[in-house]
C-alpha cells in the first residue's frame, strides 16, 4: 500500500466520506452511549450531518481546494445537525478549512496547523477542558501527538496513526470521568463508568483520516 | 413507517414527519396569528416584521408544545424555531427567524440553557451580526434541580422561559429598546426559579419507547423537560408533601423579600389532568400563605411540556410593579390570550 | 388514604378529597371570575346573579376538566355543578346553582345525555319550579358512537356541550330571553356531532387502576368520556386513517350542506400532547377540504377530558351567521377567553 | 319467631337499616357487577346513599309516622347518591311514603299500594319496561306477586316472601337480556350474559323488608 506525505482534495473527500460510512455503521452504538448519559441522539445527529456532507460534496466541482471542501462540510454540519455536536464539529471543520486556505495540496505541518485550529475552535465554542468527559478528551491528545510526530519529522501517515492511537486512549480514559459539560453533567456522579459518545465519534473520524491518507491517490 | 407508528400510543403518521405536520396544523388553526415558513421551519408572527419594534425569537427542540410556536403573536414572540423533537434547532432556522422579524430595532434571542441550544444560537447571532442585524441574547436558567456550578452545564432553562417571553414581549410591544427588552428579560430570569417532578416518562416518536424506566410507585424529583434525571428517584408521596418540598427548594434559592408578591405558575408536563394541576395549585397557595407570601398573579395549565409525561413543575417569579404591569398587558397568541 | 394515593401516578392526597381540593385551587386561581360554594359544591360566576340576564348552569361528573367549572364566567356559564368523579351531581347542587344565578329572566339547564344526569337535572328542575324559578332544559346528545334508537339510552353528550355553552352563553349575555337562549342551544346540538378514539384508559382516583384494559397496539374507536366502550376495539392506525374515519362517520350523520362552514373542534381527552392534537387538526383540514367543506372557526386543545386518557375527539358544528357571531362574541372564563 | 300483619315505624326503620347493612356488605359485589356493564360505582352509590339514610333516621323523633320516614329516606337518597340509582330509589321511597300518608300503622293492602306507587315512580322517571335489563326487572314482578298474595288474603310476611322470590327470579332473568336503558345499553349485545346491578340491589332491599317484617317488634 503506497504512502503519501502530501494531502490533496481527493484525500480530504475520502476522509469525509469514510467518516460518513463509519458514523452510519456505528450510529446505533453511538446513540446507545448517548442514551446512557445523554439524550440518545448522538448517533442520529452525526449520521444525519455527515450524510448531508456527502451529498453536498457531490455538488462541488472537481477543482475545489481541500480547504474549501472542509469549510463547506463544516457549514453543512452546522446547518443539519443541531444539538451540541453540530456546532462543535461544524466549527472544527470550518476552522481547519480556513487554516488550509486555497492551496490545492498541503503537507503534514499544514494538516497539523489545521487540526490545531479545529481544536481551538471546539474549545472556544464549548469551553471544555480535558477531563470534562467530552470529545475534547479524544481530540486534544490526538492533536498533541500529531504535533510531536510532525515536529520530529515523521511522515504524515505515521503521525496521523499516532494521533488516532492517542484519541483512542483519550476515549477510553473518559469512562471513569464525571461529566462536567453537556447533558451528561446533569447526572453528576452517575455519569461515571460510561464512555463519552462524542469522544467515541471523534475516534471514528480520526480513523477515517488515517485510512484516507494511507490509500494511494 | 406507519408500522412503527402503530406500535405506540400516539396519533402520528411517520415519526419523522410529526414536527412538520404539527406545524401545518398550527398554521391552519391560527392563520390569523402566524404563518409558517416550512422551508426554514420557522413560525412567524403574521404581521412580522413590525416596523420599529424589537423582534423576539426563541426556539428549541419540539415536544414542549405550546412552547414556543404557541407563544408567537401580539405581545409575546415574533418568531419561534422548532427543532426536531428534543433536539436544538440549527442556526439557519434562527437566522431566518431573525431576518423575518427584524423591524429595524434589533432582535432578542431567548435561549434556554442547554449546551446545544446555546451553541446553535451563538452561531446564529454571529451570522445575524454579519448581516448587520442588532442581536441581544438572554439565557434562561431557572431549574434548581441542577446546581449551578463548575461541575455542571449550569441550571437548565424551563418554566421561567414562558413567563419571560410574555413579559419581555409586552415590553417590546410597548416600544422598549433592545437594551430595555433584554434588561427586563434578564430581570425575570434573575427573579424566577423552577422545579419539577415526573410520575411517568415521555415517549419520543422516534424511539417509540419510554425515555426512562420508572416503577409504578416511583417519581423522579427534579426531572428535566427532556426526561433528564433529577435530584433523586423516590416513592410517590401525597401531593401536599410533594408541593411542600418543591416550594421549599425553590424559595430557598429564590429568597424573595418578606411578603413578596409572586407570579405562581403551576405547569403540567403533558400527561397530568387539569383536575390535578388545580389540586397542586391549592397546595401551593397554602405553602405560600404559611410563609407570608402572596400569589398576586398565577398561571395554571400545560405550557412547557415534555410530550405525554405525567408530571408537574412549579415556577415562582418575584414580581414588582413593572413586571406585574407587563404581565397584565394584552397578549394574543395561540396558547396565551387576554386583554384582546 | 395517602397510601392508596401513592400507588397511582397522580398528584392527590386522599382520593375522596380530590374534587373539593381541585375546586379550592380553581377558586384561588380565578378569584376574579368565580366563587365556589363548598357547602353545595357549586362553582358560581363572581357577579351572579346578573339582573335581567338568563342564567346558564351545567354540571356532571368531575374528571372532565376544564368542563364545566372552567367555563363559568362572562359570556358562558353562570354556574357549574361538579359531581364526584364520573358520577352525576345531585339535584341539591343543581337547585342551589339555579337559585344562585337566577337574575329574574329564568335559568337554562344544560344537560349531557346520560341517564343519571338526565334524572338528577329533572328532579332539580321540578324543585326549582316549585320555588317559582322559570327553568328550561336542553339535552346534548352528539356522540355518534352510540346509535340513537330504542335499543340504547341514546347518543351521549360530549364535545358539542362545550361549544353550546359558549354560544348559548353569548346569546344570554346579549340579552336573549330564556326561550331564545334555549332555542339557539338546541340549534347548536342539532347541528353538531362528535366522535372520539382512545389509546389508553383513564384511572379514577377511587379505583386507582385503569377503567378498561387495552393492549399496547390497540385503540378504542368511539370511546365515551367515562371510558365507556365504543363501536369497536382495533389496532392503532396512522393518524391519517383514524381522522379520515372519524370525519366520515361524523359527516354521514351530520350531513352538512355543500360547502358549509364548520366549527371544527379537535379535543384532547387529557393524556395526548398538544403536538399530536395539531397533527390531528392538520389531517382534519385535509379531510374537510376533500369534501369541499371549510373550517371557518376552530378550537384545538383539552376542553372535555377523561382524566389522563390518551385520546382525541372531533366535533363538527355546521355554522351560520348567527352561530358564527355568537362564537366570536367575547368570553372570559378560566379555560376559554377572547375579546376581553 | 313471631309474625305480624300490621306494619309500623319500627318495622320501616328496621327495613331501611337492614337494607343499609346488606348494601354495605354487598358493596363490592354490586360494584363489580356494574364494572362489567356500567361504570363500576353502583355499590358505592347505594352504600353512600343508605348509610346517609341511617344517619338521617337517627335525627327523626320517635313519633315520626312510617310514611314520613320513607319520604325522608327517599329525599336523602336523592341528595346523596347522584347517578341513576339515586333518583330512582329516592323517588320510589318518596312515592311509597306519600301513599302511606301519616298513619302510624298500616296493613298489607296499604303496603302493596305503597310499593305499587314506588314502582310507578320508577317507571315514570326512568321509562324502563320489563326486559330492559334494569331494576324494574326485579321490582315489577315483586310488586305483582305482592298484589296477588294480598288479594288472595295471605298475611303480609308470606306475601312479602313471595315478592322477594319473584324479585330474585327477575334478577336472574336479567342475565341473558340485552340492556336498552342506562349505561349498560352502550354495550349493545356485549351486555348479554351479565346480571344487572340495579336488579341485584333491589333484591337485597326486598330481603331486608322480609326480615324486618318477620322480626317481632
Ligand atoms: N461543552 C462541550 N464541549 C465539547 N464537547 C461537548 C460539550 N458538550 C457536549 N459535548 C459533546 O457532545 C456530545 C453530545 O453530542 P450530541 O448528543 O450530538 O448533542 P446533545 O448533547 O445536544 O444531544 C457529548 O458526548 C460530548 O462529547
Ligand atoms: N332508565 C332506567 N330505569 C330504571 N332503572 C335504571 C335505568 N337506568 C339505569 N337503571 C338502573 O340503574 C343501575 C345503575 O345504577 P348506578 O350505577 O348507581 O348509576 P349510574 O348508571 O349512573 O352509574 C342499573 O343497573 C339499572 O338497574
Ligand atoms: Mg445527545
Ligand atoms: Mg440532543
Ligand atoms: Mg355512575
Ligand atoms: Mg354505575
Q: Per residue in C211-223, pLDDT tens?
A: 889 999 999 999 9
The ipTM is: 0.94
Say whether pLDDT at C4 is over 50: no
Res A216: pLDDT: 63
Integer angstrom CA distances of residue B329 from B325, B326, B339, D101, D195: 6, 5, 7, 65, 60
Other residues' Cβ atoms within 10 Å of the Cβ of residue C155: 23
Q: Per residue in D24-81, pLDDT tens?
A: 999 999 999 998 999 888 999 999 999 999 999 999 988 999 999 999 999 999 999 9
Say whether pLDDT at C238 is over 80: yes
Say whether pLDDT at C266 is over 60: yes
H/E run at residue B235 = strand B232-235
Say whether pLDDT at B163 is over 70: yes
Q: Are strands C135-140 and C107-112 parallel, antiparallel or unpaired?
A: parallel
For chains B and A, having 3+ Cβ pairs within 8 Å is answered yes
Report chain D's terminal Cα–Cα distance, integer Å.
11
Other residues' Cβ atoms within 10 Å of the Cβ of residue B247: 22
Banded pLDDT at D144 (limits 50, 70, 90): very high
Q: Per residue in A5-24, pLDDT tens?
A: 688 999 999 999 999 999 99
CA distance D92 to C37: 30
Say whether pLDDT at B224 is over 80: yes
Report chain B's terminal Cα–Cα distance, integer Å.
43
What are residue B197's phi and psi, to 5 degrees?
-140, 140
H/E run at residue D23 = helix D9-25
Res C145: pLDDT: 94
D132: cell is: 330492559
* Contact list, C227 vs chain D (CB under 8 Å): 39
CA distance B64 to B306: 5
Res C323: pLDDT: 98
Asked if B100 and B49 count as a contact pair (C-beta separation under 8 A), the reply is yes
CA distance A73 to B299: 46
For residue A140, which ligand has an atom nearest its CA? 1
B64 is catalytic: yes
Portion 110-139 of C in contact with B at CB < 8 A = none
Res D39: pLDDT: 87
User: What protein residues have CB closer than 5 angstroms to ion ligand 3?
Assistant: A 34, 38-39, 41-42
Q: CB-based contacts of C24: which residues, under 8 Å, 6+ apart?
A: B278, B282, C36, C38
Say whether pLDDT at D3 is over 80: no
CA distance B72 to B43: 7
The alpha carbon of residue D69 is apart from the nearest alpha carbon of chain C, in Å, by 20
Q: Per residue in B101-157, pLDDT tens?
A: 999 999 999 999 999 999 999 999 999 999 999 999 999 999 999 987 878 899 999
Any atom of ligand 1 within 6 Å of the Cβ of A88 = yes
Measuring from each residue's beta carbon to the nearest atom of ligand 2, which residues come in under 6 Å?
Answer: C 115-116; D 34, 38-39, 41-42, 45, 83-85, 88, 122, 126, 128, 134-136, 181-183, 196-199
CA distance B280 to B266: 7
Res D4: pLDDT: 53
- Provide the mean pLDDT of chain C: 96
Q: Which residue is it, cell 460518513?
A: A20
What are residue C33's phi and psi, to 5 degrees?
-105, -40
Banded pLDDT at D1 (limits 50, 70, 90): very low
Q: How many residues does chain A have?
A: 217
For the residues B205-230, what does the mean pLDDT come to? Answer: 92
Asked if B51 and B104 count as a contact pair (C-beta separation under 8 A), the reply is yes
Any atom of ligand 1 within 6 Å of the Cβ of A27 = no
CA distance C93 to C114: 17
Mind giving me the DSSP string for A135-201? THHHHHHHHHHHHHHHHTT--HHHHHHHHHHHHHHHHHHTTTPPP-SSGGGGGGGGGTTS--HHHHH
Nearest to C264 by CA among C194, C183, C209: C194
CA distance B88 to A88: 13
The alpha carbon of residue B109 is apart from the nearest alpha carbon of chain C, in Å, by 23
Res B92: pLDDT: 97
Banded pLDDT at B4 (limits 50, 70, 90): very low
Please return the burial class of B262, using the count of CB atoms within 10 Å of its CB with bins 0-12, 13-18 and 19+.
buried
B30 is catalytic: no
Q: Per residue in C270-328, pLDDT tens?
A: 999 999 999 999 999 999 999 999 999 999 999 999 999 999 999 999 999 999 999 99
Residue of C nearest to B282 (CA): C25
C271 with B271: Cβ contact below 8 A: yes
Say whether pLDDT at A4 is over 60: no
Banded pLDDT at B228 (limits 50, 70, 90): confident
Asked if B51 and B61 count as a contact pair (C-beta separation under 8 A), the reply is no
Res A45: pLDDT: 94
CA angle C125–C127–C133, rounded 5-degree value: 70
For residue C117, which ligand has an atom nearest its CA? 2
Going by CA atoms, what residue is nearest to atom 22 of ligand 1? A83
CA distance D161 to D148: 12
Q: Where are the alpha helices (DSSP H) in chain B?
A: 2-6, 18-29, 91-101, 115-130, 160-173, 178-190, 239-254, 274-290, 321-328
H/E run at residue B59 = strand B55-62
Res B173: pLDDT: 98
Res C299: pLDDT: 98
Cα-to-centroid distance, C200 and ligand 2 (Å) = 26
In the DSSP assignment, the letter for residue D189 is G
For the residues D162-176, what does the mean pLDDT come to? Answer: 98
For the residues B238-243, what does the mean pLDDT come to? Answer: 98
b/e D184-217 (16+ beta carbons within 10 angstroms → b): bbbbbeebeebbbbbbbbbbbbbbbbbbbbbeee
Q: Which residue is it, cell 355543578?
A: C81
Rg of the Cα atoms in chain D: 16
Nearest to C309 by CA among C184, C182, C223: C223
A3: cell is: 504512502
Any atom of ligand 1 within 6 Å of the Cβ of B115 = yes
H/E run at residue C100 = helix C91-101
Cα-to-centroid distance, D34 and ligand 6 (Å) = 6
C119 with D183: Cβ contact below 8 A: no
The alpha carbon of residue B129 is apart from the nearest alpha carbon of chain C, in Å, by 33
The backbone region for D7, taken as left when phi is positive above 0, alpha when psi lies in -120 to 50, beta otherwise, is beta
A16: cell is: 469525509
E-strand ranges in D35-89 read none
CA distance A118 to A110: 12
Say whether pLDDT at A2 is over 50: no
Say whether pLDDT at C96 is over 60: yes
Q: How many residues does chain B have?
A: 340
Q: CB-based contacts of A135: which residues, under 8 Å, 6+ apart?
A: A85, A88, A122, A128, A196, A198, A199, A201, A202
Res C319: pLDDT: 98
In the DSSP assignment, the letter for residue B176 is -
What's the predicted TM-score (pTM) here? 0.95
For the residues D137-158, what does the mean pLDDT come to? Answer: 97
Banded pLDDT at B6 (limits 50, 70, 90): low
Please return the burial class of C137, using the count of CB atoms within 10 Å of its CB with bins 0-12, 13-18 and 19+.
middle
Res A1: pLDDT: 34
- What's the sign of the alpha-carbon dihedral B42, B44, B50, B55? negative
CA distance D107 to B312: 63
Amino acid at each position: 500500500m503506497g504512502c503519501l506525505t502530501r494531502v490533496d482534495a481527493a484525500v480530504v473527500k475520502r476522509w469525509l466520506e469514510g467518516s460518513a460510512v463509519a458514523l452510519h455503521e456505528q450510529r446505533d452504538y453511538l446513540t446507545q452511549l448517548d442514551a446512557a448519559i445523554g439524550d440518545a441522539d448522538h448517533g442520529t445527529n452525526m449520521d444525519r450531518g455527515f450524510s448531508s456532507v456527502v451529498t453536498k460534496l457531490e455538488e462541488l466541482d472537481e477543482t475545489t481546494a481541500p480547504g474549501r471542501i472542509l469549510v463547506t462540510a463544516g457549514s453543512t454540519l452546522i446547518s443539519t445537525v443541531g444539538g451540541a455536536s453540530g456546532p462543535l464539529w461544524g466549527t472544527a471543520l470550518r476552522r481547519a478549512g480556513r487554516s488550509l486556505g486555497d492551496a490545492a495540496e498541503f503537507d503534514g505541518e499544514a494538516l497539523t496547523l489545521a487540526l490545531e485550529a479545529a481544536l481551538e475552535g471546539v474549545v472556544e465554542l464549548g469551553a471544555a477542558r480535558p477531563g470534562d468527559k467530552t470529545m475534547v478528551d479524544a481530540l486534544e491528545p490526538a492533536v498533541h501527538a500529531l504535533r510531536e510526530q510532525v515536529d520530529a519529522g515523521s511522515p504524515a501517515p505515521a503521525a496521523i496513526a499516532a494521533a488516532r492511537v492517542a484519541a483512542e486512549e483519550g476515549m477510553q480514559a473518559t469512562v471513569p470521568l464525571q461529566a462536567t459539560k453537556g447533558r451528561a453533567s446533569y447526572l453528576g456522579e452517575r455519569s461515571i463508568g460510561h464512555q463519552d459518545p462524542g469522544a467515541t465519534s471523534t475516534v471514528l473520524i480520526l480513523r477515517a483520516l488515517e485510512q484516507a491518507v494511507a490509500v494511494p491517490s | 413507517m406507519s408500522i412503527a407508528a402503530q406500535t405506540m400510543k400516539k396519533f402520528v403518521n411517520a415519526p419523522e414527519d410529526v414536527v412538520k405536520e404539527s406545524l401545518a396544523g398550527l398554521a391552519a388553526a391560527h392563520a390569523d396569528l402566524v404563518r409558517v415558513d416550512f422551508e426554514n421551519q420557522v413560525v412567524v408572527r403574521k404581521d412580522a416584521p413590525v416596523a420599529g419594534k424589537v423582534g423576539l425569537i426563541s426556539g428549541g427542540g419540539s415536544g414542549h408544545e405550546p412552547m414556543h410556536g404557541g407563544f408567537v403573536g401580539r405581545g409575546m414572540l415574533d418568531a419561534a424555531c422548532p427543532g426536531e423533537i428534543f433536539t436544538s434547532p440549527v442556526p439557519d432556522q434562527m437566522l431566518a427567524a431573525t431576518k423575518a422579524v427584524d423591524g429595524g430595532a434589533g432582535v432578542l434571542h431567548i435561549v434556554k440553557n442547554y449546551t446545544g441550544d446555546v451553541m446553535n444560537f451563538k452561531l446564529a447571532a454571529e451570522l445575524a451580526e454579519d448581516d448587520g442585524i442588532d442581536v441581544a441574547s438572554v439565557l434562561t436558567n431557572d431549574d434548581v434541580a441542577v446546581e449551578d456550578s463548575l461541575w455542571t452545564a449550569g441550571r437548565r432553562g424551563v418554566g421561567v422561559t414562558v413567563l419571560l417571553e410574555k413579559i419581555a414581549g409586552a415590553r417590546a410591544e410597548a416600544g422598549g429598546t433592545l437594551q430595555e427588552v433584554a434588561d427586563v428579560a434578564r430581570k425575570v430570569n434573575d427573579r424566577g426559579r423552577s422545579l419539577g417532578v415526573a410520575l411517568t416518562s415521555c415517549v419520543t416518536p422516534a424511539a417509540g419507547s419510554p425515555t426512562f424506566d420508572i416503577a409504578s410507585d416511583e417519581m423522579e424529583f427534579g426531572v428535566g423537560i427532556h426526561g433528564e434525571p433529577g435530584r433523586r428517584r423516590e416513592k410517590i408521596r401525597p401531593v401536599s408533601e410533594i408541593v411542600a418540598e418543591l416550594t421549599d427548594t425553590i424559595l430557598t434559592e429564590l429568597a424573595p423579600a418578606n411578603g413578596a408578591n409572586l407570579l405562581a405558575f403551576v405547569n403540567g408536563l403533558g400527561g397530568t389532568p387539569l383536575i390535578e394541576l388545580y389540586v397542586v395549585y391549592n397546595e401551593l397557595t397554602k405553602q405560600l400563605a404559611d410563609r407570608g407570601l402572596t400569589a398576586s398573579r398565577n398561571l395554571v395549565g400545560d405550557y412547557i411540556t415534555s410530550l405525554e409525561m405525567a408530571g408537574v413543575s412549579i415556577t415562582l417569579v418575584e414580581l414588582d410593579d413593572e413586571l406585574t404591569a407587563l404581565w397584565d398587558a394584552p397578549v394574543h397568541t395561540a396558547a396565551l390570550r387576554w386583554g384582546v
